[in-house]
Amino acid sequence: MQAVHNGCRSRRGVRRFISTISCAIVLFSWGAMAFGDAGEAEAIRPFKIAVPEEVLVDLKSRLARTRWPDEIAGSGWNYGVEPAYLRDLVDHWQTKYDWRAAERKLNTFPQFITSIDGVDLHFIHVRSSHKGALPLVITHGWPGSVVEFVKIIDPLVNPTAHGGRAEDAFHVVCPSLPGFGFSGRPKTPGWSSSRMAAAIATLMERLGYDRYGAQGGDWGSGVSTWLGNHDSAHVVGAHITFLGSGVPQGADPWAGISTEVRERFEARSKELQAHFGYSAIQGSRPQTIGYALNDSPVGLAAWIIDKFWAWSDHRGDLDNSFTKDELLTNIMVYWVTQTPASSARIYFERDYYDGGRKAGRSAPVGVAMFPKEIGVPPRQWAEKRYRLVHWTDMPRGGHFAAMEQPELLVGDMRKFFAPLRAERGEK
C-alpha cells in the first residue's frame, strides 16, 4: 500500500497518511464528487452495496454443509447458543431470508466512501430538510454495524413525521468503523477506538460540519466521548448508552448510593459473569478466532448471536427483541465483507492510541441507561468520569438500543440535545 503524506491542509491540523483501499467484496461507484477544495485523496465518493451473486451462492453451499456439534439435551443457553434456536435461525437463513431485499433497504440511504488516515471510511449520510438541523454522528460497536441504525435515521432526520418537532431535526452521519462492514480493513497496527474517533472527527470536518453532536453505544460510546473530549471546539455534546461495568478504585465506591441501585448493578453483573470470554479471546488472539469466523457462517452467527442473547431485554425469547431478518442482516454485513478478523482487532488495539486533537473544555455528556445493558453502574460513577448533564433510566431495552427500543432512544436523544442546540445557537 502506497501512502501519500499531506501537510497541514486544514484548520484542524496535520492530515495523516491518506490512501485508497477498495472493498474487495462489494461493487460500488467511484464517483468524482468532492467537497470544498479537497484534492482527489480527500474525495467523497458515492457508494452502493452490491454483493456479487457468487458470494451468496457460496454462502448457501456452506450453510447446507454445516457440521453441527453435539449438545447436552435440555441445557438451553447454559453452554452457549441454544442449538434449537440456532438451527431454526439457519433454516430461516437458507429458506426465507432475502439478502437482496435487505440490500435494497440499506441502499435507500445515501452512502459514501472517503479515505482518511490510509483507510477507506464508509458512511451513511442523510441530510434533513428542516432548517437549523443539527449534524449528528452515530457510531456502532462490535458485534454491531450501521444496520443497527435503520430504525432511527428517519425519525432523527424527519422528526415531524415521527411525533417530534421540526426543531428536533438532525443531519445524520453513520460511519462503519475501520475494519467493520463496508469500510476498509486497516493493514497496520494501532487502530484503537480513539484513532477511529480521530478519523471520524476528520470526516465531520470534511463534510463541512463545524458543530455537531455525537452518539454511540458499545465502542461507539468511547468514540463519542473521545470526540467530546478531543474535538470539543466542535462537538456540542455526546449522548451514550454504554458506560462499562468496572467498580471504581479508591475510596468506598458505594458511598451515598442506594441499595436498589447497588442491587441492580450486582444482579446484572452476576447475570453476565460467564459472558466475557469473547473479549479475552478477541483482545489477545483476534487472528486465531478470525479464521473460524471468516470461514464458517454458522460459526460467525453463533459468535454474534451469543452477544445479542446476553445483552438484550428478550425475557427468555430472542424474538421478543429482534426479528430473525434483523439479526441475519447484521450478520451478513460481517460475512459479505469478510470483516470478522479485522473487526475483532479493535479489542487487541484498545490501549494502543489515545492521541489526536485536543481543544478546550470537554463537551457535556448524556446517558440513556437501558436495564439490560452490559453494565448498569450508578449515576454517581459517571459523574466522576464525565461532564454529565443528563441521565435517563430506561424502563426496558438493552445494549442494541437503536434496534430494540428505537423510540425510547430517539426520544432521549432529542431531549439531551435540545438545550445544547439553544446554547450553541443552532435554532
Catalytic choice (122, 130, 399, 412): 399
Of 218, 306, 313, 325, the active-site residue reads 218
Question: How far apart (Å, rounded) are the C-alpha atoms in residues 330 and 254?
Answer: 38
Distance set, CA 362 to CA 56, 386, 389 (Å): 46, 8, 12
Q: Assess if residue 29 is contained within a domain.
A: no
399 is catalytic: yes
Q: 7 lies in a domain?
A: no
| Contact by Cβ (8 Å): 367, 382 | yes
pLDDT tens per residue, range 280-290:
999 999 999 99
Residue pLDDT, tens place only, 365-412 = 999 999 999 999 999 999 999 999 999 999 999 999 999 999 999 999
Q: Is 327 within the bounds of a domain?
A: yes
- The catalytically annotated residue of 130, 347, 386, 412 is 347
- Residue 349: all three cell numbers together: 488495539
Q: Count the domains in the chain.
A: 1
- Residue 186 in domain: yes
Regions in the chain scoring below 50 on pLDDT: 1-38, 424-427
- CATH number of the domain that residue 249 is part of: 3.40.50.1820
As a whole number of angstroms, the distance between CA 238 and CA 41 comes to: 29
Residue 259 in any domain: the answer is: yes
In a domain, 11, yes or no: no
Q: Does residue 222 sit within a domain?
A: yes
Residue (of 160, 157, 161, 193) closest to 177 by Cα position: 193
The angle at the Cα of 376, spanning 370 to 380, to the nearest 5 degrees, equals: 115
Domain carrying residue 84: 51-423
Is 369 part of a structural domain of the chain? yes
